[in-house]
Chains A and B, each alone.
Chain A
Amino acid sequence: MASINYAQREITCKIVYYGCALSGKTTNLEYIHNHVPAAEKGGLVSLSTQGDRTLFFDFLPLEVQDVGGFTAKFQLYTVPGQVVYNATRRLVLRGVDGLVFVADSQWTQVKENVESFQNMIDNLSQYGYSLDSIPYVLQYNKRDLGSVAPTHYLDFTLNRRSRRVPVYETVAPAGVAVFDCLNAICRLVLAKLRAA
């Protein structure tokens, strides 16, 4: 959950990158970590297996000075994408303020994306949360690969709720639109806090 500390003039928010296995969630955080100035970031903490698959989560604290007299701190988390890790995936969602759903654009992953999106809704509901009240954006990743589904098809499968949300076509290892997506969710989260 967000915290607003008027004594230290700090706003802190939790943003979770969610998606199916190997969709590029950790790659997003790695790219962000490598391309944010040292003054704006902490260390990237990865709880992963020896094979570099996320076991629990990745964690990257970011901060921006002078946001209307506040320091805005964003704590980025990923969840483990593998189906077997649902219990840990659910734990990471506790107190989430904003979500980036990272979809793998490849045709072969359409079913996995839809299942992961539904799994996100189910896990949020365990805390009484709903996508109707939490800001989120969609990221269609791996757009550089050959066998990707067109965006209108991904929209049809993932962006069909009553509230259509912003979509970013990304290539995470190259950083294409990674920061556009990050900035969008940060702005949405701050706007929601302001409107509360």
Chain B
Amino acid sequence: MTDLDLQPVVIYEEDARDLAQRLDAFLKASRSSLVILIDRSGQVIAERGYARKREADELAALAAAAFAATEQVAKLIGENSFSVLFHQGEERNIHLSVVGESALMLTAFDDRTTLGLVRLYAGEAAQSLMPVVERIQTRTGPADLPDVGDRRLFAGS
């Protein structure tokens, strides 16, 4: 991990389309309700399926933190990392898996599918997502971003 880690992720239309296609295929095959592709700093790269407004942002922040904390736990017992996390609820479950070095995939699912099916297709999805993730993370400089000048973005009340 280097200063390169601070380069922005840049997503163009074609990237968004490629990610959506792959995530939709995964959702359909695994019969899950929501999938979120997350960068390791906790930001949403792409999401498909059903989520309330801003729910994905919160899930991404918490999932990335949980994964990072668990990674430290893994190191304490001599493992480099745990590649999969699974949280079982009464009605909904969360499956969290790695996509390469720098991204995570969070899947929410219920009793319409099984953990085995989600795990199976999550592995395949990670393989298909990796080249796209690599592409968006290695682009150089953004263009035509807005100049906010002295604008007060948040007025408060």
Contacts and interface: CB of A to CB of B under 8 A. Distances in A.
Contacts, number: 160
Nearest to B64: A94
Contact of A42 (B9, B13, B41, B57): B57
Nearest to A12: B43
Contacts of A75: 42-43, 57, 61
Determine the interface band of chain A, counting residues with CB < 8 A from chain B.
Answer: 35 or more
B6 A95 contact: yes
Instruction: Give the dominant DSSP class at A's interface.
Output: mixed
Interface in B91-120: none
A95 B8 contact: no
Contact of B42 (A14, A36, A127): A14
Interface residues of B, number: 46
Contacts of B155: 179
A73 B155 CA distance: 15
B54 A42 contact: yes
A51 interface: no
Interface in A1-57: 1-8, 11-12, 14, 32, 35-37, 40, 42-43, 45, 47, 56-57
Instruction: Give the dominant DSSP class at B's interface.
Output: loop
B153 A128 contact: no
B154 A43 contact: no
Contact of B58 (A12, A14, A59, A186): A59
15 contacts: A1-B43, A3-B45, A7-B17, A12-B44, A35-B157, A36-B157, A61-B58, A75-B61, A127-B1, A129-B3, A129-B6, A133-B3, A187-B148, A187-B153, A193-B145
Interface of B: 1-3, 5-13, 15-17, 39-45, 54, 57-58, 61-62, 65, 68-69, 72, 141-142, 145-157
